[in-house]
């Protein structure tokens, strides 16, 4: 056989494979592998550095450097040439290492004698595992073929690492997927839960990274890619014509699947000795590494598409479907890189909690998780890579912390916390049918927020007096097209039936900004939160809003109806929206449909401007509800979805409370019932302060009703008011400290 880079590479890979089969201990395998690679590349040195922890690399085996340095030499990610390779996930190839930026001399390794250096990352699907290095005395740059060849070897090492081939002595050789991990993410829905991991997309495991027969592998790859292309073409013909976004994704899948470059690179990998699936994964890994560094969101999306496509191909080649045969645990905690709202709804309330690698507070998945009242932690980096199906996991949605495979002490402390919460729930159950009446005799009405039919059973169990906010977006967000009037009317009617005569306030469609409909052309707006959203869309393109209003009138079918328009910023928006509703009433009457027994038309106060509207607005509105989530973001000019700023301003800031007090006054002048339905209403201390400022109706998540009622019943609102007045007088920025101190004095 002639000596080509391909045959050399294949020979090397099959020797590596043999080492895997022969040597038992992880260390012995690594030693023999460094020897083989150095020999095959004709270099004096070959070293393998593996990650000891997230930040530190450890020399785990070497041929050519001082043996004493093994498990002694360590460097941080980014430090020295090896650390730079790990950080950038790109090779460094230099003829003169000591002159290279960032070179760090490690005396214990004796490496000063070596001039040329080639380091390539050992990574699997964007996960850093280590660095593979070859060095030579003569000052030469390694050829492109050599770099590529070493990357292929690194890929095989990555697969072997994943399969646990190097578990053994030495801190960096400890077993993966067995140690405990803590992830610090971001809280997107509060609550605590413990359970067992259920991976939304179980990882494909490549058990055969090396293959002897490149022709057979190439044929397997080509066949799988062909099938994939056919699938994509079929999906494209099935994708609804109006669904621009879905079509765009499918088109980019098609583009990748037909890309010669992608297939060619994988064929080259195969020629060097990788199996078809290892070749797919190698290209997927480098795409993931690029994904992390690309600043452009559009390009990142495209790389994401390539990632999804690679997954499809891997499943096809390995025969590993989503169905791995694993059984859904009885207490599943869903772990995923990301998940769509419809998929999350499919799991429904069976989930104890959800943990995502990506996501945002306002994502559709977050909206669904909130609607289902399932604790949700987002931005838990790497959890989908670390977790395995069935791993025990603790989710602290309040703090945004997730413990994977927790130690006993952590688990038992967590169990105590859950037990305390359960006890508190029992206490709340005992006051469920009592009013939220403060010690001074003020009664505050507590309602619940909802968004799904599935929320309605919480109405009696939480003790809520009604539904203060029914968000109608979910039915629009989770479908591929606009729902039909009949479907909506049916749902709204069932919601009213389930409420059994209690009041339900339906908010008309509040889309735009964070809530983008899958079938709505995305608006390229510089500031979506300040852009074309909610009632602005409803008034400019009234078709959907009118259809929704008809559905509501039909659903009421003679019963009382409350409708609320979101995001009203000035009087004429309210009058116009109200006029639409009145016209629909006339039209429905003309069609012979029963009209609601009573009709209440309200507005959400979500922009400060509305508090200064003319008196006529307050007279015209049958009720007003403060959307504190949006109001706060505009009051403080702090994006509610931006982690950097969203917690920066305290709700109990004196300016904000003073503003609320003004709204209370304006409503009192117009005799307009006022409520507060943002998330803050469900926080007991905030709720007490709102009540002290004069609010007499609050709407919140069902789970918050108990804690809020319990605190309200234990305090004297006149005292709370005095504490706030005093804090104001002393020039405090926030009344929180004063209020907390007063609450402590109450015990």
Q: How far is the CB of 551 from ligand PEP (least distance, A)?
A: 19
The sign of the torsion formed by the CA atoms of 540, 541, 546, 549 equals: negative
Local structure of residue 113 (DSSP, 8 states):
G
Is 677 among the catalytic positions? Answer: yes
Between CA 714 and CA 428 the distance in angstroms is 13
Stretch near ligand PEP under the rule CB under 6 A, chosen from 53-61, 254-262, 623-631, 663-671 = 623-631
- The closest alpha carbon to 179, from 89, 51, 59, belongs to 51
Cα separation, 21 vs 29, whole angstroms: 9
- Both tokens assigned to 588: 């429905």
Helix, strand, coil proportions of the chain in percent (round to 5)?
50, 15, 35
**Closest CB to ligand PEP among residues 585, 626:** 626
Q: How far apart are CA 647 and CA 400, in angstroms?
A: 14
Identify the active-site residue in 364, 403, 580, 667. 364
Q: Is 455 in the site for ligand PEP (CB under 6 A)?
A: no
* Part in contact with ligand PEP (CB under 6 A); list of ranges 2-10, 289-297, 628-636, 683-691: 628-636
126 Rama class: left (phi>0) / alpha (psi -120 to 50) / beta: left
Q: Is 175 exposed, middle or buried (0-12, 13-18, 19+ CB in 10 A)?
A: exposed
> Shortest approach of ligand PEP to residue 671 CB, angstroms?
24
| Residue given tokens 């400022």 in the structure block | 693
Could you give the C-alpha distances from 84 to 88, 130, 270, 643, in angstroms and in order? 6, 11, 28, 29
Of the pair 257, 652, the CB lying nearest ligand PEP is at: 652
Q: What is the largest CA-CA distance in the chain?
A: 96
| One residue of 273, 628, 684, 707 binding ligand PEP per CB under 6 A | 628
* 315 close to 302: Cβ distance less than 8 angstroms: no
Phi, psi (degrees; rounded to nearest 5) at 133: -130, 140
Q: Does 630 bind Mg ion (CB under 5 A)?
A: yes
Q: How many residues bind Mg ion (CB under 5 A)?
A: 2
For the segment 467-496, give every residue that binds ligand PEP (CB under 6 A).
469, 471
Cα–Cα distance for residue pair 664/439, rounded to 1 Å? 22
Integer Cα distance of 328 and 351 in angstroms: 10
Residue 202 interaction partner, one of Mg ion, ligand PEP, none, beta carbon < 5-8 Å per kind: none
C-alpha closest to that of 355 among 316, 399, 311, 317: 399
Determine which residue in the list 627, 670, 682, 684 makes contact with ligand PEP, applying CB under 6 A.
Answer: 627
Nearer to Mg ion, 400 or 627 (CB): 627
* 628, interface contact from Mg ion, ligand PEP, none, CB < 5-8 Å by kind: ligand PEP
Cα R_g (the chain), whole angstroms: 31
Q: Which of 160, 192, 677, 705 binds ligand PEP (CB under 6 A)?
A: 677
For the CB of residue 679, give the shortest distance to ligand PEP in the complex, in Å: 7
| Residue tagged active-site, from 60, 667, 677, 689 | 677
170, interface contact from Mg ion, ligand PEP, none, CB < 5-8 Å by kind: none
Contact status: 512 vs Mg ion (CB under 5 A): no
**Smallest gap, in angstroms, from Cβ of residue 606 to Mg ion?**
5
If the CB atoms of residues 361 and 404 are measured against ligand PEP, the closer one turns out to be 361
Active-site residue flag, 46: no
Contact between 162 and ligand PEP per CB under 6 A:
no
Strand partners, 377: 187, 355
156: closest CA among 33, 311, 249?
Answer: 33
CA distance 635 to 489: 36
Tokens representing 241 are: 């014509």
Q: What token pair was written down for 703?
A: 């789970």
Q: CB-wise, 386 or 630, nearer to ligand PEP?
A: 630
Separation between Cα atoms, residue 747 and residue 741, nearest integer Å:
10
Q: Which does residue 677 bind out of Mg ion, ligand PEP, none, counting CB within 5 to 8 angstroms by kind?
A: ligand PEP
Site residues for ligand PEP, 501-530, by CB under 6 A, read: 510
Size of the site for ligand PEP (CB under 6 A): 10
Which of 428/470 has CB closer to Mg ion?
A: 470
Binders of ligand PEP in range 11-50 (CB under 6 A): none
Kindly state the smallest distance separating residue 304's Cβ from ligand PEP, in Å. Answer: 27
For residues 441 and 331, the answer to whether their CB atoms sit within 8 Å is no
- Rounded CA-CA distance 724/741 in Å is 12
Among 629, 662, 710, 734, binds ligand PEP (CB under 6 A): 629
Partner touching 471 among Mg ion, ligand PEP, none, CB below 5 to 8 Å by kind: ligand PEP
| Residue 390: other Cβ atoms inside 10 A | 14
x/- letters, 608..627, toward Mg ion (CB under 5 A): -------------------x
Is residue 606 part of the contact set for ligand PEP (CB under 6 A)? yes
Binding mask 575-614 for Mg ion (x = CB under 5 A): ----------------------------------------
Catalytic annotation, residues: 364, 677
Which residues of this chain interact with Mg ion, rule CB under 5 A?
627, 630
Which residues of this chain interact with ligand PEP, rule CB under 6 A?
469, 471, 510, 606, 627-630, 677-678
């Amino acid at each position: 056989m002639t000596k080509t880079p391909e045959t050399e590479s294949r020979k090397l890979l099959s020797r590596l494979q043999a080492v895997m089969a022969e040597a038992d201990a992880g260390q012995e395998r690594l030693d023999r592998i460094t020897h083989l690679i150095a020999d095959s590349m004709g270099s004096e040195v070959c070293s393998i550095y593996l990650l000891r922890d997230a930040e530190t690399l450890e020399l785990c085996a070497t041929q050519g450097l001082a043996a004493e340095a093994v498990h002694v030499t360590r460097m941080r990610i980014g430090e020295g040439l090896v650390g730079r390779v790990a950080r950038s996930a790109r090779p460094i190839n230099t003829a003169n290492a000591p002159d290279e930026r960032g070179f760090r001399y490690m005396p214990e390794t004796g490496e000063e004698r070596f001039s040329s250096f080639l380091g390539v990352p050992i990574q699997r699907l964007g996960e850093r595992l280590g660095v593979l290095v070859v060095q030579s005395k003569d000052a030469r740059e390694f050829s492109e073929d050599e770099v590529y060849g070493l990357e292929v070897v690194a890929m095989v090492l990555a697969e072997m690492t994943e399969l646990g081939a190097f578990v053994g002595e030495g801190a960096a050789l400890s077993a993966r997927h067995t140690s405990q991990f803590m992830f610090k993410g971001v809280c997107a829905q509060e609550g605590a839960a413990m359970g067992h991991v259920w991976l939304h997309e179980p990882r494909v495991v490549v058990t055969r990274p090396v293959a002897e027969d490149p022709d057979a592998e190439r044929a397997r790859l080509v066949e799988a890619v062909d099938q994939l292309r056919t699938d994509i073409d079929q999906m494209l013909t099935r994708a609804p014509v109006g669904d621009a976004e879905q079509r765009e994704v499918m088109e980019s899948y098609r583009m990748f699947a037909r890309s010669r470059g992608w297939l060619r690179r994988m064929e080259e990998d195969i020629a060097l000795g990788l199996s078809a699936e290892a070749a797919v994964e190698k290209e997927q890994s480098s795409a993931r590494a690029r994904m992390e560094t690309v600043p452009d969101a559009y390009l990142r999306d495209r790389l994401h598409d390539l990632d999804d496509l690679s997954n499809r191909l891997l499943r096809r080649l390995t025969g590993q479907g989503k169905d791995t045969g694993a059984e859904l645990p009885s207490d599943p905690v869903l772990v995923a890189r990301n998940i769509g709202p419809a998929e999350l709804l499919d799991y429904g309330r069976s989930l104890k909690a959800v943990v995502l690698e990506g996501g945002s507070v306002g994502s559709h998945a977050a909206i669904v998780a909130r609607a289902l009242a399932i604790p949700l932690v987002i931005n838990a980096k790497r959890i989908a890579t670390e977790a395995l199906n069935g791993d025990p996991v603790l989710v602290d949605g309040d703090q945004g912390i997730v413990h994977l495979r927790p130690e006993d002490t952590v688990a038992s402390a967590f169990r105590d916390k859950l037990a305390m919460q359960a006890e508190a729930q029992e206490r709340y159950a005992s006051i469920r049918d009592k009013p939220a009446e403060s010690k001074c005799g003020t009664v505050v009405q507590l309602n619940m927020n909802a968004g799904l039919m599935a929320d309605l059973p919480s109405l009696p169990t939480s003790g809520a007096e009604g539904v203060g906010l029914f968000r109608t977006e979910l039915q629009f967000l989770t479908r591929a097209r606009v729902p039909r009037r009949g479907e909506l009317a049916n749902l709204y009617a069932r919601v009213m039936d389930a409420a059994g005569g209690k009041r339900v306030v339906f908010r008309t469609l509040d889309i735009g900004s964070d809530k983008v409909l899958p079938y709505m052309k995305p608006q390229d707006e510089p500031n979506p939160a300040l852009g074309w959203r909610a009632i602005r869309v409803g008034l400019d393109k009234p078709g959907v809003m009118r259809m929704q209003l008809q559905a509501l009138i039909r659903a009421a079918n003679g019963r009382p109806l409350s409708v609320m328009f979101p995001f009203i910023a000035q009087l004429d928006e309210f009058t116009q929206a109200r006029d639409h509703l009145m016209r629909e009433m006339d039209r429905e009457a003309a069609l012979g449909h029963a009209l609601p027994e009573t009709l209440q038309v309200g507005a959400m106060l979500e922009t400060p401007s509305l508090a200064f509207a003319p008196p006529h607005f307050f007279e015209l509105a049958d009720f007003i509800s403060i959307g504190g989530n949006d109001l706060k973001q505009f009051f403080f000019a702090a994006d509610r979805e931006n982690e950097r700023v969203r917690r920066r301003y305290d709700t109990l800031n004196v300016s904000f409370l003073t503003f609320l007090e003004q709204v209370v006054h304006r409503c009192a002048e117009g005799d307009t019932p006022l409520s507060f339905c943002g998330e803050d209403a469900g926080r007991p201390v905030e709720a007490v302060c709102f009540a002290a400022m004069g609010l007499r109706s609050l709407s919140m998540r069902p789970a918050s009703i108990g804690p809020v009622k319990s605190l309200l019943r234990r305090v004297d609102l006149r005292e709370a008011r005095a504490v706030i007045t005093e804090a104001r007088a002393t020039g405090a920025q926030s009344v929180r400290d004063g209020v907390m101190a007063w609450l402590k004095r109450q015990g």
